[in-house]
Each structure stands twice: as C-alpha cells, then as structure tokens.
Amino acid sequence: MLSRTADHLFWMARYMERAENTARMLDVNYQTSLLPQSADTALQGWSGLLSISELTWAYQQQHRQIDARNVMDFMVRDEGNLSSIWNCLRAARESARAVRGALTTEVWETQNQTWLEFNRMLKAGEFERDPGAFFEWVKFRSHLSRGVTVGTMLMDEALHFLRIGTFLERADNTARLLDVKFQALAGDDYFGPTDGGAPPPGAPATPQEVDFYHWSAILRSVSGFEIYRKVYRNVIRPEKVAELLILRPDMPRSLAACMNEVVANLQLVANQQSSETLRKAGRLQSDLRYGRIDEILATGLHAYLTQFLDRVGDLGVGISRDFLVPMAA
C-alpha cells in the first residue's frame, strides 16, 4: 500500500475517534455541571477538560475567563482550534475523500453525511438548544462509522491502518483523562488509598456524594459505569477505576485493550523497517499485560501515565516513519 494512502486512512480513524472522545468529555462535564456544586468545583471541571487536550493556552488567547459556554463553543466549533469537533470531522472527511477508492461506498457516505449533517445542525442552533443531545449524536455517528468500517471493508491493510489509528488515539485519550482527573483528586500525584481512607496530603476533602459523582462521571465518559458495577460489584474506589481503565484487557477503552489491538494490527502490516516500532509496541503491551495496579500506584499514577503518553507518542512517530508520510520537521 502507498504510504500516502495509509497515512490518510490512519488519520481518518484518529480524527473520528478524537471527535467522539471530545464529545464524551464535553457531555460528562455538561451533565455534571447541572448538579448542585460550588463555582470553584465547576470551574475545575472545565479547566481540567482543557488540560486533557492541552488547549489551555490556545483557549486563553481567545477568552479571558473559563466558563461552560465558552469552553463548549471552543471545543465544538471553533475553526481555529485544531482539536475541535468541527476540525476533527472536517479532517476525517477530507482524509476519506483523498482515499475514496480504498473505502467502501458505505464508509465514504457515512463520513460525508456526518460532516454535512454536523454543519446543518450547527446552523440550525441544535447545539445551543440541547448540548447533551448534540454530543450523543456525535458519539452515535462515530459508532456508526466504526461499525460500517468493520462490517463492510475487506480485512486487508486498509482496515488494519484504520484500526491502528483508532486504538492509538483511544489509548492516548484514556491516559490523558485518567491523569487529569486523578490530579484533580490528589493535587499532585496519586499513590493509592491511605490508611483509614483519609485523603492524600494536599488533596481537597470531598463529601462522599461529591466523590461518587466525580468517579461515576469519569466512568461514564468511557462508557464504563455499568462495566465497573459488573466487574467489581462494590462502591466506586479510585484504585479500582484506575485498574479498570489501565490493566483490564476486557474493558474496550482500557490502555491494555487498546495496545492489544494496536500490536495485533501492526503485526499484520509489518514490513522490513518496522521491527523496532513493533518491538516498542510489544514491550508496552507486555508491561500492561503483566502489570499490577499496586505497583503502578507505588511509583505514582501521574508519573506512570506521563511515561505512557510519552511512549504512545513515540510509537506514533515510529508508525509514521515506517508506514506513513513522514512528519514535517
């Protein structure tokens, strides 16, 4: 397969997954903001959302203060924000159009219709009227795109590059979400529960009901609330949330599950130049497969996730170098 074709397929999948992840985080923050809470707590939620995507600086160039309406507008339809849902869906559609011949009719029409309908909904004011329903629609279109891709495309290199893009982006987003949310809980770094259940030094004391909503919001943002209840059958505990989203291979959005998919698809497209990239991916997969949550927490969750994000970024550079159009220096 031509490297340019592989590049468009890889980024088409990444941008679609990024649009869905952005909608998920915005939806959870929006739903949480409707609950009774202090102004500082609400502000912390929207600030954390910008931090996850590393957009705080870009946002502050346009807005003096952080508030729900401005953050949602910035993350949904700001054309100057390259990570906005508008830009992600536009880029996904442009990538799909560039490799129209490598896609089935259903895949192309899904991408194209999503972009056209998204713009129609924005112009009709549906985002302002009901943000929750709007975010659900974005998630639904991403599910549809993924289902049509898996259900209609030949299981060849084109599909494998799409899958690599999807799961690499998902791993990156899950790690960022965990890092920011746990830092909001612990202040600096999280080393697991302390004796007697007291909050770690420097962490803000939170009432039990606020704590529940905090963790249930994180789980809902990755469709993990019901899964947590099924797996652990217990109250929501931070260390169990971390274990579910990092080490459980049967949780679709966990780091372990994402890396299993990345490695499996990398092996199917491997070439003579990709041995080092495949080795790094396999080592990261093994660290997750044989890791223990107590060992991760002992070294600090923030330190672990920062290292994971660096390794995923390095993996993306390796994939680009071995298979795709080289990144500009």
Q: What is the residue-wise DSSP string for 259-283?
A: HHHHHHHHHHH--TT-HHHHHHHHH
Q: Are residues 6 and 132 in the same domain?
A: yes
CA distance 312 to 291: 17
Q: Are residues 284 and 204 in the same domain?
A: yes
Can you give the pLDDT at residue 186?
59
User: Is the Cβ–Cβ distance between 197 and 302 less than 8 Å?
Assistant: no
Q: Are residues 176 and 285 in the same domain?
A: yes
Residue 263 lies inside a defined structural domain of this protein: yes
Can you give the pLDDT at residue 248?
96
Q: Are residues 121 and 254 in the same domain?
A: no
Residue 63 lies inside a defined structural domain of this protein: yes
316 or 234, which is more confident: 316
- Kindly list the distances between the CA atom of residue 99 and the CA atoms of 109, 113, 127, in Å, as whole numbers in the listed order: 13, 16, 31
Residue 126 lies inside a defined structural domain of this protein: yes
CA distance 45 to 26: 10
Q: Are residues 175 and 149 in the same domain?
A: no
- Kindly list the distances between the CA atom of residue 190 and the CA atoms of 119, 225, 318, in Å, as whole numbers in the listed order: 41, 21, 31
Of 91, 119, 153, which marks where a domain is finished? 153
CA distance 267 to 159: 13
Please state whether 102 falls in left (phi above 0), alpha (psi between -120 and 50) or beta.
alpha
Can you give the pLDDT at residue 146?
95
- Residue-wise pLDDT for 66-85, tens only, equals 988 999 999 999 999 999 99
- Domain of 25 in residue numbering reads as 1-153
Residue 114 lies inside a defined structural domain of this protein: yes
Please compute the mean of the pLDDT values over residues 105-116 and round it to a whole number. 96
* Residue with tokens 């807005």, as numbered in its chain: 63
CB count within 10 Å of CB 68 equals: 18
Q: Are residues 183 and 285 in the same domain?
A: yes
Of 104, 123, 153, which marks where a domain is finished? 153
* Residue with tokens 């920062």, as numbered in its chain: 306
Question: pTM, whole model, 2 decimals?
Answer: 0.89
Of 92, 120, 153, which marks where a domain is finished? 153
- Residue-wise pLDDT for 289-328, tens only, equals 999 999 999 988 989 999 999 999 999 999 999 998 765 4
Residue 197 lies inside a defined structural domain of this protein: yes
Q: Are residues 175 and 283 in the same domain?
A: yes
Q: Are residues 276 and 132 in the same domain?
A: no
The region of weakest confidence among 17-31, 44-58, 152-166 is 44-58
Residue 329 lies inside a defined structural domain of this protein: no
Q: Are residues 319 and 202 in the same domain?
A: yes
- Name every residue whose Cβ is closer than 8 Å to that of residue 84 and which is 6 or more positions away in sequence: 22, 74, 75, 76, 77, 78
Give the number of domains in the chain.
Answer: 2
Q: C-alpha dihedral over 225, 140, 177, 274, to 10 degrees?
A: 120
Q: What is the sign of the dihedral through the CA atoms of 202, 207, 208 and 212?
A: negative
User: Is the Cβ–Cβ distance between 58 and 51 less than 8 Å?
Assistant: no
Q: Are residues 129 and 237 in the same domain?
A: no
CA distance 324 to 190: 37
Q: Are residues 196 and 245 in the same domain?
A: yes
Q: Are residues 240 and 144 in the same domain?
A: no
Can you give the pLDDT at residue 203?
47
Residue 275 lies inside a defined structural domain of this protein: yes
- Residue-wise pLDDT for 186-217, tens only, equals 555 666 665 444 445 444 445 555 567 778 88
